[in-house]
Amino acid sequence: MALTTRGGGAGGGDPAKAPSASDPSLGFLTKRDTEVKLPRATRVKNKTPAPIQITAEQILREARERQEPEIRPPKQKITDTHELSEYRLRKRKEFEDVIRRVRWSVSAWVKYARWEEQQRDFARARSVYERALDVAHRDHTLWLKYAEFEMRNRFVNHARNVWDRAVSLLPRVDQLWYKYIHMEELLGAVANARQVFERWMAWRPDTAGWNSYIKFELRYGEVERARAIYERFVAEHPRPDTFIRYAKFEMKRGEVERARRVYERAADLLADDEDAEVLFVAFAEFEERCREVERARAIYKYALDRVPKGRAEELYRKFLAFEKQFGDREGIEDAIVGKRRFQYEDEVRKNPLNYDSWFDYIRLEESVGNKDRIREVYERAISNVPPAEEKRYWQRYIYLWINYALYEELDAQDIERTREVYKECLRLIPHKKFTFAKIWLMAAQFEIRQRNLKSARQILGNAIGMAPKGKIFKKYIEIELYLGNFDRCRTLYEKYIEWSPANCYAWRKYAELEKNLSETDRARSIYELAIAQPALDTPEVLWKEYLQFEIDESEFGRARDLYERLLDRTKHLKVWISYAEFEASAGLGSEESESEEKKNEVGYQEQQMERVSKCRAIFERAFDYFRTSAPELKEERAMLLEEWLNKEVSLGDLGDISLVQKKAPRKVKRKRPIPTEDGSTIAYEEYIDYIFPDEVAQAPNLKILEAAYKWKKQKTGDDDE
């Protein structure tokens, strides 16, 4: 680059001003000439895009083209031995200085050795490598460089010496062994290479080392040696991939039986291995290629039984594809079942307490029909006992036991096993906290089907003693009643009533039993004991049956006394109506009494009048009770009058409708406020109020309302006219 100055350079301008403007250290250049002049920032006036655009690639290319060439040191030409000695002395001194500074740097030693190699001073280069090994003998790259140096310059024995020292010091570095063997192969020393391989195999390398040894033998056609190495290989690394490689080696040479034996050894040895699925798939595909379809199917089924379901997804997929290709309809269905079995196994493995998944799984196995597998799934399902002793957790679980027992009895027809299932289930349920009547009854019914009545009674007796329930009492009584053991039925009813004295069903059924046995006094005593209980769940049903019992026995006096006793307890409207109906129809039920009464018409009329008067007296008592003792029950009083009116109508000539009509109320629509939570009334509702004639006579306000009502009615009639 040319340097120029203003004013024509050093010789131009005023000589008097030159010394003052120059600096002795700059020679003939002035300070102005050496200043760095930065470009002035220009203001962009026009921001519109230029007509010719330039890309970033063009800018970079132009910058590259305008770069100045790299400054390289001049080449030194050595003309005699004296200059060469000086050059070598200077370079060695430089290398030695570098080594002193960075003694641990392997690259510095290698550069030094390579320079000596370029100078053809092999002894010095070897000396540098040896000195480097004293510093970094654990660095395998240094050994590689050293050995490659000896090999490049054809010092074979030296190279062998270096390799021997390297593999002895660093036997776990595979690259050293590979390079050593490669050198021997290049030299054609096959025996030496084999010897190196044997030394290497003694250190138990990984699969890559064994595979390289086998490939080495196969390159020289030593098949038997390769087979022997494979035997050592699978013994050293018993894994599915090593056995598969061994079998493929035999298969490639047409040794089908040898390959099959290899697979069989692997299947026996590695059936429980994590990668056993890969082995079984390869074995089945091998048999498939050999056209041994049945063998392949047997291998798939054996594998599906042994391999855990969580790792058998690929196995199921292969088996399904195999059956679609070689199997019939049944085989394809089996494969599909296997796939569904895998899905259910995955579900129950994730959540063993999901009993719905167990039910689906059991249903699948029952559709296949393998008894051993069905029992295995049942046993696994019932082993998942609910975590808490609360009935809501057991309600779904108990059906596993029920289905298990039904399967053993109906499908497997194993009676002893069914009995054991029932016993184990009854032993497992915590009866002190809760029980299941269904399982007790099913166990007893099973024994009855086996004609073992003693065991059935024992089971039901244990149920009543340990966890009595209404269903158990009912079924036990039903069984004994069917067998005609009435004394046992009486005993069971007594225990039933003792356990639950408020249960009207037990009292009624006990009395019904005695009534069917024509034990009237017993039945009446039972009814009396029942209505004497302080608390009953449905007393109205019990009283109704007791009353009907006395009426059926034509004990009208007892029935009348019962009605009076019932009225002492409750004055319900239905009781009054039922009492009145009874009085109106007492003695009309028997055909003999009716025929005798009709023979004497006068006596019959008197009987009818007496019944009507008694019925009317009951209605009168009821009306007086609601009028005086319960005046607030206006709706019930109105309903009573309605029933009374219907009864008078049904009596025909003996009835007196006017007697009821003069007591009939008048319906009035009224409004009442709806109270809210804060006590304020914001709305009203309509309701029907009943105004009875006796109330109008007593209250003057009601008389005024009555007169207003009549006036309004009269006015409405005039408007209509």
Question: What is the distance between the alpha carbons of residues 615 and 445, in angstroms, rounded to a whole number?
Answer: 53
DSSP annotation string for 360-427: HHHHHHHHHT-HHHHHHHHHHHHTS--SSS-HHHHTTTHHHHHHHHHIIIIIS--HHHHHHHHHHHHH
Give the confidence band of 334 by pLDDT, cuts at 50, 70, 90: low
Q: How far apart are CA 699 and CA 61, in angstroms?
A: 122
DSSP class of residue 262? H
Sign of CA dihedral 542, 545, 551, 552: negative
Of residues 659 and 85, the one with the higher pLDDT is: 85
Residue 681 pLDDT exceeds 90:
no
Check: CB of residue 196 under 8 Å from CB of residue 184. Answer: yes
pLDDT at 47: 78
Query: Would you say residue 596 has pLDDT above 50?
Result: yes
The residue ranking higher by pLDDT, 175 or 275, is 175
560 close to 537: Cβ distance less than 8 angstroms? no
Most confidently predicted of 24-33, 491-500, 590-599, 642-651: 491-500
Residue in 242, 253, 171, 177 with CA at minimum distance from that of residue 211: 242
User: What's the confidence (pLDDT) of residue 721?
Assistant: 44
Confidence at residue 6, expressed as pLDDT on a 0 to 100 scale: 36
Q: And the tokens for 711?
A: 């006036």
Of the candidates 642, 651, 653, 588, the residue with the CA atom closest to the CA atom of residue 615: 651
Q: Which residue has the higher pLDDT, 600 or 638?
A: 638
Answer whether residue 316 shows pLDDT above 80: no
**In the 8-state DSSP scheme, what is residue 672?**
E
Average pLDDT on 645-665 reads 79
Indicate the pLDDT class of residue 11, thresholds 50, 70 and 90.
Answer: very low
Whole-number Cα distances in Å, 591 to 409, 453, 461, 597: 56, 47, 47, 10
- Answer left, alpha or beta for residue 521, where phi above 0 means left and psi between -120 and 50 means alpha: alpha
Q: What is the pLDDT of residues 226-278, one digit of tens each?
A: 999 999 999 999 999 999 999 999 999 889 999 999 999 998 888 878 888 88
User: Is residue 224 within 8 Å of 230, Cβ to Cβ?
Assistant: no
pLDDT digits (tens, 9 = 90+) for 355-394: 888 988 888 888 877 888 888 999 989 898 888 888 888 8
What's the per-residue H, E or C state across 14-38?
CCCCHHHHECHHHCCCEHHHHCCCC
- pLDDT of 641 over the 80 cut: yes
pLDDT for residue 644 is more than 50 = yes
Confidence bin at 291 (pLDDT 50/70/90): confident
Predicted local confidence at residue 261, as pLDDT: 92
Q: Give residue 33's pLDDT band: very low, low, confident or very high (50, 70, 90).
A: low
Q: Tell me the pLDDT of the chain averaged across its residues.
A: 82
More confident residue, 580 or 418: 418
Residue 37: predicted pLDDT? 61
Token reading at 241: 């991939």
- The residue-averaged pLDDT of 131-153 equals 93
- Is the confidence at residue 642, as pLDDT, over 60? yes
Distance from C-alpha of 516 to C-alpha of 239, rounded to nearest angstrom: 82
| Amino acid identity for residue 11 in this structure | G
Count of alpha carbons within 13 Å of 408, Cβ hemisphere only?
Answer: 20
What number of other Cβ atoms are within 10 A of residue 134's Cβ? 7
For 606-640, the pLDDT digits (tens) are: 777 888 888 888 888 888 888 888 878 878 888 88
Q: So what's the pLDDT on residue 615?
A: 85
| pLDDT tens digits, 60-81 | 888 888 887 777 777 778 888 8
**Position 302 pLDDT exceeds 90:** no
Q: Copy the structure tokens of residue 406.
A: 């039904």
For 40, residues 6+ apart whose C-beta sits below 8 A from its C-beta are none
Contact 158, 126 (CB under 8 A): yes
Phi first, then psi, for residue 684 (nearest 5°) are -130, 155
